[in-house]
Amino acid sequence: MKKKKVNLRDLKPDSETKHGHDDGHNHSNPEKLGDFRTYLPAFFSFVMMIIGIAVDFFDAFPYFKGWVRIVWYTVAYLPVGFPVIKEGWNSILKGDFFTEFLLMSIATIGAFAIGEYPEGVAVMLFYAVGELFQNAAVNRAKSNIKALLDVSPNKALVYRNNDYVSVNPETVEIGEKVQVRVGEKIPLDGVLLSEKGSFNTAALTGESKPDTISKDEKVFAGSINLDGVIEIETTKEFKDSSIARILDMVQNATARKSKTELFIRKFARIYTPIVVFLAIGLTFLPYLFVEEYVFSDWLYRALIFLVISCPCALVISIPLGYFGGLGAASKNGILFKGASFLDEMTKVTTVVMDKTGTVTKGVFKIKVIKAIGWDEPEFMKYLMAMEEQSTHPIAKAIMEYKADGEDFQATDVNEVAGKGLKGTVNGKTVLVGNKALMTSNNIEVPSETDNIVESIVMVSIENKFAGYIIIADELKEDAHEAIKKIRESGISKIIMLSGDKDSITQQVAKEMGVDWAKGGLLPEDKLLEVEKLMAETDNKVAFIGDGINDAPVLAASDVGIAMGGLGSDVAIETADVIIQTDQPSKIARAIKIGRSTRRIVWQNIGLAFGVKAVVLVLGAGGLATMWEAVFADVGVALLAILNAVRLQKMKWD
């Protein structure tokens, strides 16, 4: 899936359309809505309108009639009305005739034409206030996503010509040494050259707790250095760094609309001109059927009809609902690559997961040490002396063991192809390897080892079996919790597919409580199994993986979910949803956020259509005034917005 690259330096928080939906309108959206100047036009119009209504009601000034009254209400109208009329005119020049701006302009100017000056001002005033609230709500919904833009580093201290110089991160090359001081952001992905460091990775993972990294381990751009001056060696260019990748995903996510959003937008473009022509008909057609036809009465009804029918509540609150869902997910370390995937997540019935790196840590650890006739520390020193020079992952896991005292040294170490190592430690002959190495040297192996499915390393010293260790991949801390929460979310089937040995896969699946598992699979085998599941009627499959070998299945599944911290770039690029924290328990949270978003969107649709339908009928029958029309338009829009904003307040645990 190719995605358009964006220049991160050109990104702005409001680079999307001003209302968070691409309707082609240039809505007013000031950067600082807390600035009083933003509300000054509406405040001025409100004060002028209230004074005018009070004077009308109490008849306090005999001169407040005729042109004086018209001018007063016109002055009250212009601060809020002129921007809307201007937007409507600009839309017409672009060939877009039927917009909410045109509806509001016709309705309010028409009200002035029939002498309903206070109502004309009131309609436009409340519409303008509604716009301000909508903008504030959009900004609130965007806040979690826009915060990511603030973590993009803007400088890097690079070691060049025997000194550290400050440069733009985009100019730093792979392999250069970068210094990061306390409180500064890591500018590019790399490996830690210092002995250790403590980092705040909240921008990448959504988790605020510090993460301690040791020498030669990976560090990611956007992380904040919490403890001491450190040095890193860059492994990626800035455009390929973790933070750049996240920003790119977020930027693309806001541009991808859900099917509901796209339908509502198309519906509004058909619905609006129909309403305009119905309003014209409501004005003139009664002349043919009503005996005492009064033009101003029917025009007033038509103007009410126009105000009520304005589709603002739909075209604003629905995209806002999806934007709120994307923001809530981002805050929780979950990146959806578009609103459409929020919808797709709600339809998932089967979750298929990879094992290594997805529900396990993908790192070998010593699980069991069984020394026979030796003290454990001494036994491990013999083993570590043999494995010291090996680069095999199992050897690295063995070398993490901490034994007191002086280390042993091995000599004359030779590799026995496919079996293990043979050498001398402290003058004693030592064999380290599998059962085949032991039996080929006539060393008796205990029968208890026959039922061990994990990787096992056997040791003999002076031609006598000395013990064994079991090496296994650890389950992630939240692996069991993940299965429990996925089931609680209503998923009917959980399956594990792995390239690891089937015996190990079955053991992990049994420990976790997975419904069905299969191991020893090549990438094409995984793809075949998932395609079989997807072929079942009404079965929506989400696949969770992290490696390059998972990319084909991530692309083919209904929803592809990648582990974003340890996962490969290919898997992350291919997936539809990214779990930045590498926590499988976040999958259930992603499902919950998707369902809550969809529920709120449909609540807003029902609210908008229901209230508008009732008031439209009342307005056409002459039973509703312009005040009811204002509620049906602006009031319903505000209620829908407040409903959508709830996504930002919800607890997902």
What are the residues whose beta carbons fall under 8 Å from the beta carbon of 415, sequence distance 6 or more?
Answer: 421
Distance CA 184, CA 156 (A): 10
- Tokens coding 379: 């036994």
The structural domains of the chain, ordered by start, are: 8-148+251-328+595-648 (no CATH), 346-359+477-580 (3.40.50.1000), 362-475 (3.40.1110.10)
Cα angle for residues 190, 193, 194 (degrees, 5° grid):
130
Q: Determine the pLDDT at residue 25.
A: 39
Strand pairing report for 190-192 and 334-336: unpaired
- Tokens coding 343: 């919808």
The verdict on whether 412 is a catalytic residue reads: no
645: three-class secondary structure by DSSP: helix
Residues 311 and 268: beta-carbon distance below 8 Å: yes
Give DSSP secondary structure letters for 68-107.
HHHHHHHHHHHHHHHHHHHHHHHHHHTT----HHHHHHHH
Q: From the candidates 211, 248, 354, 546, which is the catalytic residue?
A: 354
> Which residues of the chain fall below pLDDT 50?
1-34, 148-149, 206, 253-254
469: three-class secondary structure by DSSP: strand
Closest-CA residue to 250 (of 328, 336, 320, 164): 336
475: three-class secondary structure by DSSP: strand
pTM of the shown model = 0.64
Distance CA 627, CA 633 (A): 10
- Which amino acid belongs to residue 604? N
* 406: DSSP letter: P
Say how many C-beta atoms besides its own lie within 10 A of residue 235's C-beta. Answer: 15
Number of residues in the chain: 653
Strand pairing report for 350-353 and 541-545: parallel
Strand pairing report for 493-497 and 196-200: unpaired
Phi-psi category of 84—alpha, beta or left, where left has phi over 0 and alpha has psi -120 to 50?
alpha
Share of the chain above pLDDT 90, in %: 25
Q: Any bridge partners for residue 464, and if so which?
A: 461
Q: Determine the pLDDT at residue 75.
A: 95
Q: Determine the pLDDT at residue 332.
A: 83
Q: Determine the pLDDT at residue 389.
A: 73
Q: Determine the pLDDT at residue 36.
A: 64
Q: Determine the pLDDT at residue 22.
A: 40
Residues 487 and 467: beta-carbon distance below 8 Å: no
Q: Which H/E stretch holds residue 646?
A: none
Residues 152 and 243: beta-carbon distance below 8 Å: yes
* 363: DSSP letter: E
Strand pairing report for 211-214 and 177-180: unpaired
Closest-CA residue to 314 (of 255, 263, 252): 263
Q: Which H/E stretch holds residue 144?
A: helix 117-150
CB-based burial of residue 54 (10 Å sphere; 0-12 exposed, 13-18 middle, 19+ buried)?
exposed
Residues 502 and 525: beta-carbon distance below 8 Å: no
- Tokens coding 45: 């119009």
Distance CA 383, CA 471 (A): 13
Sign of CA dihedral 207, 211, 217, 222: positive
Closest-CA residue to 111 (of 125, 93, 96, 132): 125
Strand pairing report for 516-518 and 493-497: parallel
- Which amino acid belongs to residue 364? F
* 56: DSSP letter: H
Q: Determine the pLDDT at residue 541.
A: 94
Say how many C-beta atoms besides its own lie within 10 A of residue 185's C-beta. Answer: 22
**Cα end-to-end distance, the chain, whole Å:** 32
Q: Determine the pLDDT at residue 84.
A: 87
Distance CA 607, CA 321 (A): 14
Q: Determine the pLDDT at residue 27.
A: 41
Distance CA 584, CA 561 (A): 10
Residues 473 and 440: beta-carbon distance below 8 Å: no
Residues 585 and 477: beta-carbon distance below 8 Å: no
What are the residues whose beta carbons fall under 8 Å from the beta carbon of 285, sequence distance 6 or more?
Answer: none
The gap from C-alpha 137 to its chain's centroid, in whole angstroms, comes to: 18
Cα angle for residues 124, 104, 640 (degrees, 5° grid):
80
What are the residues whose beta carbons fall under 8 Å from the beta carbon of 537, sequence distance 6 or more?
Answer: none
Residues 340 and 156: beta-carbon distance below 8 Å: no
